[in-house]
């Protein structure tokens, strides 16, 4: 009986969920969607929000760096816009024709005996379109996307203190704000002590640990038994902090925060063959045999 219990314990696979980012993770950066998307975001800022063209590059970089996505940053500093309109503007004109069906990845995913979930900052229309183009629309149990983490569409900036709360209230009062009510983040970072006093964003997205934790809760995922695939080092860093096992995709250079690094998602079986061993009795380790985990790069 005692032996049976031990046997059952070691037989259990290490992971019971695979959590995948979508863009630049399930297809390569070279498809060109990411560069077109950032161009569309800049156009949106100029055309729809009337932001000075000369400030776009600097402003976009600051927002992306401090808020995870430019969209989250724009909302934080006071711009108000319809989320669906924003998404259709920045994603609607993407060269989706560059995404081709990927039967190799499809077969790899379908042969994996573990639950698989998508976790993307993008909206559901983009996620569905990209997955369909790749021929992967039926390979996942579910999709956690922008709408999952941000279910309420606000058409106006809330008066609710929580929505526009400032972190570091002492510095917030001295931070520059334009006469139009927009927080001057460029001016803010030209101050000697810019680390605190940034306005919060109402948008929940990676790489915030709160966003990842919320996604895990919604999909009933245990981070300690989940492998998280993403092409963004900062998403991987946050994933690691909330307890996920991590795989950086798109490079074979493995940073400290990643347990594995894959040049391409196609290398998944080469780097993690044990994912396919979940139901194979013959490859079970017996108690007493010590398995040393070695970080892998493929």
Minimum Å distance from CB 23 to Mg ion? 4
- Tell me the window of 105-113, 154-162, 227-235, 269-277 that interacts with Mg ion (CB under 5 A): 227-235
- Mark the segment that binds Mg ion (CB under 5 A) among 78-86, 148-156, 200-208, 225-233: 225-233
Is residue 123 a contact point for Mg ion (CB under 5 A)?
Answer: no
Of 22 and 198, which CB lies nearer to Mg ion in the complex structure?
A: 22
Residue with tokens 């493995």: 254
Looking at the Cβ atoms of 116 and 154, the one nearer to Mg ion is 116
- Quick one: which segment of 96-104, 179-187, 212-220, 226-234 binds Mg ion (CB under 5 A)? 226-234
* Residue 207 · residue 234 · CB < 8 Å: yes
> Which run of H or of E encompasses 249?
strand 245-249
Residue span binding Mg ion (CB under 5 A) among the ranges 19-27, 204-212, 245-253, 261-269? 19-27
Stretch that binds Mg ion, among 17-25, 44-52, 71-79, 103-111 (CB under 5 A): 17-25
CA–CA separation, 134 and 137 (whole Å): 8
Alpha-carbon dihedral angle through residues 155, 160, 166, 168, given to the nearest 10 degrees? -160
- In the complex, minimum distance from the CB of residue 27 to Mg ion, in angstroms, rounded to a whole number: 10
Total residues binding Mg ion (CB under 5 A)? 4
Report H helices in 14-164: 33-47, 56-67, 70-76, 83-92, 103-111, 124-134, 146-149
Q: What does the alpha-carbon distance between residue 63 and residue 79 come to, in Å, rounded to a whole number?
A: 12
Quick check: 24 binds Mg ion (CB under 5 A)?
yes
CB of 230 to Mg ion, least distance (A): 6
Nearer CB in complex with Mg ion: 198/247: 247
Smallest gap from Cβ 119 to Mg ion, in A, equals 10
Give the nearest distance from C-beta 24 to Mg ion in angstroms: 4
Are the C-beta atoms of 68 and 60 separated by less than 8 Å?
Answer: no
Among 18, 21, 67, 248, binds Mg ion (CB under 5 A): 21
Asked if 231 is part of the footprint of Mg ion (rule: CB under 5 A), the reply reads yes
**Cβ closer to Mg ion: 205 or 221?**
205
Residue with Cβ nearer Mg ion (130 or 185): 130
Which of 28, 81, 26 lies closest to 51 in space, CA to CA?
Answer: 81
79: its two tokens: 């711009």
Whole-angstrom Cα distance, residue 234 to residue 289? Answer: 35
3-state helix, strand, coil in the chain (%, to 5): 45, 10, 45
Residues that bind Mg ion (CB under 5 A): 21, 23-24, 231
């Amino acid at each position: 009986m005692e032996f049976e219990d031990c046997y059952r314990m070691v037989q259990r696979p290490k992971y019971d969920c695979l959590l995948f980012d979508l863009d630049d993770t399930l297809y390569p950066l070279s498809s060109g969607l990411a560069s077109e998307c950032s161009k569309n975001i800049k156009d949106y800022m100029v055309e729809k929000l009337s932001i000075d063209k000369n400030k776009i590059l600097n402003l976009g970089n600051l927002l992306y760096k401090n808020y995870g996505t430019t969209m989250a940053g724009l909302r934080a500093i006071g711009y108000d816009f319809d989320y669906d309109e924003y998404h259709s503007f920045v994603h609607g004109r993407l060269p989706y024709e560059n995404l081709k069906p990927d039967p190799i990845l499809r077969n790899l995913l379908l042969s994996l005996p573990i639950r698989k979930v998508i976790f993307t900052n993008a909206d559901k229309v983009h996620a569905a379109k990209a997955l369909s183009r790749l021929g992967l629309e039926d390979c996942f149990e579910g999709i956690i996307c922008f709408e999952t983490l941000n279910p309420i569409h606000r058409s106006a900036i809330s008066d609710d203190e929580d929505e526009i709360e400032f972190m570091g209230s002492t510095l917030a009062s001295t931070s520059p704000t334009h006469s139009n009510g927009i927080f001057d983040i460029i001016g803010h970072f030209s101050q000697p002590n810019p680390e605190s006093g940034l306005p919060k964003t109402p948008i929940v997205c990676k790489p915030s640990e709160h966003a990842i934790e919320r996604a895990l809760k919604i999909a009933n995922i245990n981070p300690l038994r989940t492998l998280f695939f993403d092409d963004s080092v900062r998403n991987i860093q946050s994933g690691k902090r909330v307890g996920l096992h991590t795989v950086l995709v798109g490079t074979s250079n493995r940073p400290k925060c990643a347990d594995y690094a894959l040049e391409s998602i196609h290398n998944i079986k080469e780097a993690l063959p044990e994912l396919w061993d979940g139901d194979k009795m013959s490859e079970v380790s017996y108690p007493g045999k010590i398995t040393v985990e070695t970080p892998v790069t493929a």
